[in-house]
Amino acid sequence: MKALLICTPLLFSLALAACSTLSSKPQSFNQLGQFSVYPLNSQTFRVSFQTSQAMSYAPAEEITLLKAAQTTVQNGFRYFTVLDDPSNVRHKSPRQAVIYSRPAYYPYRYHRRYAGFWPDPFYDIPHVVNLDPIQISYTIECFQTQQQAPNAFDALLILQSLGAKYGLSPSGEVLPPTIPSNKPK
């Protein structure tokens, strides 16, 4: 009976660990959040991106920059500048919450009642989650050559360097999501 009491938490934690290692379905670029592109004139566009709650600000900025590069290429241009002055934009930090992973069904001081159970030091690590989705918008102006705007971003270079990370081809086409393989390289 004592062996059963010792093995039960171990078996439960192994089963829980096996379930947590299953990967969720990969997402394509268009499924990362809500995009909107509004043409303001023939070469100026307003590109917006709203994230899911689980995404942080840095990837959201990269994805918005990628969407701006994709918009530039799909409208027959190669270079673009961001017209929004960063000093005038107010970056409001999203509301965040700290969540502890310890389930509520474990009684207080569970490990002291059962000598065979050793608590995992990584089990009760707090996780910070965003309560509000992040919204980023850029107004971009597109150009054919870099001589028209010397400080412009090269849309093809952005798509080549960051595109594969988020599921875009170097030409700006959305790639189907790939399932990562567990095979050693």
Q: What pLDDT does 102 receive? A: 56
Average pLDDT score over residue span 30-59:
87
Contacts within 8 Å (CB) and 24+ apart, 178-184? 178/26, 179/23, 179/26, 180/23, 180/26
State residue 45's pLDDT score.
96
Model pLDDT, residue 22: 42
Which pLDDT does position 182 carry in this prediction? 60
More reliable by pLDDT, 49 or 24: 49
DSSP for 83-132 reads -S-TTT---PPPPEEEEE---TTSPTTHHHH-TT----TTTT-EEEEESS
Question: In the prediction, which pLDDT does 23 show?
Answer: 44
Average pLDDT over all residues of the chain:
75
The predicted model scores a pTM of 0.65
What's the pLDDT tens digit per position in 100-137? 665 555 555 554 444 455 555 555 566 676 667 788 89
The whole-number pLDDT of residue 88 equals: 44
Is the pLDDT score of 37 beyond 90? yes
Pairing verdict, β 79-82 and 96-100: unpaired
Q: For 52-61, 107-116, 133-142, which range has the lowest pLDDT when averaged over its residues? A: 107-116
